[in-house]
Amino acid sequence: MPAQPLRAAIVGGGIGGLSAALALLRRGLQVSVYEQAPVLGEVGAGVFIYPNSLRQLERMGLGPALAAVGARVGPASRYYRMDGSVVGPIVMADSSGWNGFYGMHRADLLEALAAALPAGVVHTGHRCTGLQQDGRTARLEFANGSTAETDVVIAADGIHSALQKHVVGPMPPEYSGSRAYRGLIARERLPGWLDEAHQVWMGDGKHFMVFPVRGGQLLNYVGFVPTSSQTVESWSAVGDRDELAASFAGWDAPVTELLSKVESCFWWGLYDRRPLESWTNGRLALLGDAAHPMLPHLGQGANQAVEDGVALAVLLEGRDAAEVPEILRGYEALRRARTDVIQAEARRNGLRYDSRTGSLEQRARALAAAGRCRRRLYDAAVAAAAAAFRDGREVPAELEPVSG
């Protein structure tokens, strides 16, 4: 055992950063989180928590907190054509049949994570401006003039990561050709709405989805619409409510009824990046969107960030500071076998939803095949896989792309 626990500095106090902090603390590391904002907070609306990450979060002791603020989403979930005809069920269980799904408001999830951390772990008002490292340690510099010395730096600072430049050269985001309109609406305003359901309506070049959050009191809606010009990559840009409604005019009645009651909405452009050449450099590792930004069409962005943190915690537990660079290279090798496939599958799934993968019958078959892939995705035993990798044992086979 090392003479003293490893010190880990996490840059970014979002969902990925705070869940990584919890995972690392459980494995005995000393952890500090540095967030540039003056207070912790999440912009955006809903986020789906799937079995592959919920399993990990419950093991961190968050089960009751998430149950209190989440909305169960279950077997009534369906894919529809734009006219309301049913295409098929959405898989809402892992292979064991466990329905580990919550629709959550991002702010509720972040608050639950923050409440589970000991006092003094999170340092707000710390915008990272520099990183220096040598064979023995890493040193972070912040805009407020402070510095921090640590054994390992984890960049959980999102798709516009300030630390990514210390790992790879500039890689501009790729615009998907779509913008997403999003918002929340009170469930009570839609008396006939189907409860505990994730619903996706699919049309020519666009799709619309709805799922509950905050214990079912609110519905999170997202409309994906093609654009000829790029839209700002922002969670908080104010959208055009009338343009949103017009984009889905003539669609299934539940969609048009919901949109008739929308008073305001936001929009953001959908971007991702090709897989990076590397995620690590010496004592620095990228995590979540800083490493593998994904389009939202599998809902796995936050979930894969949680997995990253768990894998890192297992690999770093009980190790010496001198071993950190090698451990981080192993982290990348382990996780990329999974996230590269999920990144690509998220792109393909968006094309399926937008009816751009052949005939409607071909799409139905592809969605059924993707359902089988999802169960395997949800089954992931991340900690066990990381432990096997660490010990030199065989790691279970990872995901295969879905054809079509």
Tell me: the pLDDT tens digits for 147-179? 999 999 999 999 889 999 999 988 777 777 788
- What is the chain's mean pLDDT, rounded? 91
* Domain layout of the chain by residue ranges: 7-74+98-171+274-353+374-390
Class (C level, CATH) for 7-74+98-171+274-353+374-390: alpha beta
How large is the greatest C-alpha to C-alpha distance in the chain, in angstroms?
67
- What CA–CA distance (Å, rounded) separates 38 from 168? 29
273 falls in which pLDDT band (50, 70, 90)? confident
What confidence tier does 376 reach under pLDDT thresholds 50, 70, 90? confident
* Full-model pTM: 0.93
Report the alpha-carbon distance of residue 35 to residue 305 in Å, rounded.
17
pLDDT above 90 covers a percentage of the chain that reads 71
* pLDDT tens per residue, range 300-325: 999 999 999 999 999 999 999 999 99
Rg (alpha carbons) of the chain, rounded to whole number: 21
For residue 222, give every residue at least 6 positions away whose Cβ sits within 8 Å of its Cβ, in sequence order, or none: 46, 180, 181, 182, 208, 209, 210, 296
Determine the Cα–Cα distance for residues 38 and 117; give it in Å rounded to an integer. 18
Assigned token pair, 199: 């619903």
For 136, the token pair is 């023995």
The span from the CA of 248 to the CA of 255, in Å, is 8
Asked whether residue 403 carries a pLDDT value surpassing 50, the answer given is no
Detail the DSSP E strand segments found in 156-205.
Answer: 174-186, 199-202
Confidence check: pLDDT of 377 > 80: yes
